[in-house]
């Protein structure tokens, strides 16, 4: 190989969306910090007061409580009381989301804030209100949105982390499946070029850049967080690197689209808000399709596996094709299915355990618990890659 080719190959190995490359660098620093001390509501109240003052808000914080659930962000629900005589309407309740010392997935809340602003009117989202992108008030990045009522899973009879092994049941399934698909189609049809999303770069240097950016980010996280080797994870990494597909059409991808990441009204069977946009980027729609089809987010009933407990595999693919007019390329989908399972393996078996060993999260116990899912992802990778051995 000539020296020019070696340099070109080396550039490709590190080619990543700049904002995501910055997250890798941030993680390298955060990993070296001492154990994380969980925020008390007093500290959060103090940070909120300073942020509100800086925003020119004279409202008083009337209540604040910690929310449960989730494996990554710390979440607090609070209420504001307008000062006497104020005419500005206040939302009854707000949600504050902050990163712990080192989250299971490194993300940038400034991008999420920008995107939530942009998506209003396209799909239902929580209205973003205030941003502490550099951690000036809370010591780490934070964002406030208006509270949206609803649930991420049926209230009765569920004890799993939201969306894992999602079970909606037949009545909710029939109500939620079309809006679920419609919203995904709207996200993929969003005019991101017209919106000029601050902080979002466009992977258009060559047709393979969209997939390469995604692979390289997760490869960097794997290299950073890996605690031990597993042959199938290495095999998947090598296979992915060799099989980066071209992208025919760049779209806005959500990155974590599934049951568990939208709020719905259980009585009306309506979707109130699409949540968790941290992994959104300009990329290939196949990545979202593959994520929806992940077994982790599916439910098996009477031997039938339904993605997000809404669609059987082929039903989802053909319904998406029919609604959007796009063709799902099965070879590209296969690449992204391997990538998504590999990502999940990295998240639970490398990043989650790495964070909990360093005591860097308020949810160390959840992360250790979730690492048990690593075996399932290893099995899924083996099944997906077995096709390549035939």
Partner 1 sequence: MLPTIEERLDSIIRALSTVVLAGLAPEARLAREQVQLSIGHLGILRDHIAALPQFEREEAEDAAELAAALLGIAGGGAATRNARAALAQAMFARAGMPASLASRAINAAIAGLVEAAFLDGDKDSRASLLKLVTQYEKERSNKDREIFHPYGFDAL
Q: Under a CB-based contact definition with an 8 Å cutoff, are residues 59 and 47 in contact? A: no
By C-beta, is 317 or 384 nearer to partner 1?
Answer: 384
CB of 69 to partner 1, least distance (A): 7
Site for partner 1 in 349-378 (CB under 8 A): 362-363, 365-366, 368-370, 372-376, 378
Q: Under a CB-based contact definition with an 8 Å cutoff, are residues 155 and 266 in contact? A: yes
**3-class secondary-structure state, position 185:** helix
* Rounded CA separation 115/113 (Å): 5
By C-beta, is 162 or 253 nearer to partner 1?
Answer: 162
CA 80 to chain centre: 28
CB of 118 to partner 1, least distance (A): 31
Tell me the backbone φ, ψ of residue 277, rounded to 5 degrees. Answer: -95, 15
Site membership for partner 1, residue 64 (CB under 8 A): no
Q: What are the DSSP E strand ranges found in the chain?
A: 60-66, 74-81, 93-98, 128-132, 142-146, 250-253, 262-265, 270-274, 281-284, 298-301, 304-307, 311-312
Specify the residue for token string 């590999």.
Answer: 342
Site membership for partner 1, residue 66 (CB under 8 A): yes
Q: How many helices (H) and strands (E) does the chain have?
A: 14, 12
CB of 336 to partner 1, least distance (A): 19
By C-beta, is 31 or 295 nearer to partner 1?
Answer: 295
Helix axis angle, 285-292 to 170-189, nearest 10°: 170
By C-beta, is 59 or 164 nearer to partner 1?
Answer: 164
CB of 230 to partner 1, least distance (A): 6
CB of 144 to partner 1, least distance (A): 19
From the list 40, 69, 83, 149, which residue makes contact with partner 1 (rule: CB under 8 A)?
A: 69
CB of 240 to partner 1, least distance (A): 11
User: Regarding beta strands 262-265 and 270-274, do their DSSP bridges make them parallel or antiparallel, or are they unpaired?
Assistant: antiparallel
Site for partner 1 in 219-238 (CB under 8 A): 228-235, 238
From the list 296, 310, 350, 353, which residue makes contact with partner 1 (rule: CB under 8 A)?
A: 296
Q: What are the DSSP E strand ranges found in 158-261?
A: 250-253
Specify the residue for token string 């001492």.
Answer: 34
CB of 30 to partner 1, least distance (A): 21
Query: Interface mask (CB under 8 A) for partner 1, residues 128-167, using x and -?
Result: -------------------------------xx---xx--
Chain contacts with partner 1 (rule: CB under 8 A)? 65-69, 159-160, 164-165, 228-235, 238-239, 241-242, 295-296, 300, 362-363, 365-366, 368-370, 372-376, 378-379, 381-383, 385-386, 388-389
């Amino acid at each position: 190989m000539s020296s020019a080719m070696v340099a070109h190959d080396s550039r490709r190995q590190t080619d990543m969306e700049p904002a995501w490359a910055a997250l890798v660098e941030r993680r390298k620093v955060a990993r070296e910090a001492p154990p994380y001390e969980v925020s008390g509501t007093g500290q959060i109240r103090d940070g909120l007061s300073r942020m509100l003052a800086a925003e020119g808000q004279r409202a008083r914080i009337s209540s604040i409580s910690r929310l449960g659930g989730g494996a990554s962000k710390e979440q607090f629900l609070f209420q504001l009381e307008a000062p006497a005589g104020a005419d500005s309407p206040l939302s009854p309740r707000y949600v504050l989301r902050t990163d712990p010392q080192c989250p299971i997935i490194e993300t940038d809340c400034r991008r999420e804030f920008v995107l939530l602003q942009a998506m209003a009117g396209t799909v239902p989202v929580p209205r973003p209100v205030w941003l502490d992108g550099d951690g000036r008030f809370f010591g780490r990045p934070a964002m406030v949105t208006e509270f949206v009522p609803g649930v991420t899973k049926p209230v009765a009879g569920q004890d799993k982390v939201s969306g894992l092994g999602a079970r909606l049941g037949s009545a909710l399934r029939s109500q939620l499946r079309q809006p679920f698909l419609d919203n995904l189609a709207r996200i993929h049809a969003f005019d991101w070029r017209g919106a000029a999303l601050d902080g979002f770069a466009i992977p258009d240097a060559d047709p393979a850049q969209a997939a390469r950016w995604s692979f390289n980010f997760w490869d960097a996280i794997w290299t950073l967080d890996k605690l031990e080797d597993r042959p199938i994870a290495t095999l998947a990494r090598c296979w992915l690197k060799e099989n980066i597909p071209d992208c025919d059409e760049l779209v806005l991808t959500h990155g974590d689209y599934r049951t568990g990441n939208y709020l719905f009204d259980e009585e009306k069977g309506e979707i109130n808000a699409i949540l968790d946009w941290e992994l959104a980027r300009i990329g290939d729609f196949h990545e979202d399709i593959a994520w929806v089809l992940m077994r982790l987010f599916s439910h098996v009933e009477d031997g039938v596996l339904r993605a997000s407990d809404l669609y059987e595999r082929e039903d989802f693919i053909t319904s998406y094709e029919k609604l959007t007019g796009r063709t799902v390329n099965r070879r590209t989908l296969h690449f992204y299915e391997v990538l998504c399972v590999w990502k999940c393996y990295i998240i639970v078996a490398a990043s989650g355990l790495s964070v909990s060993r360093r005591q860097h999260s308020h949810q160390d116990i959840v992360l250790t618990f979730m690492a048990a899912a690593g075996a399932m992802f290893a099995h899924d990778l083996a099944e997906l890659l077995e096709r390549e051995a035939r």
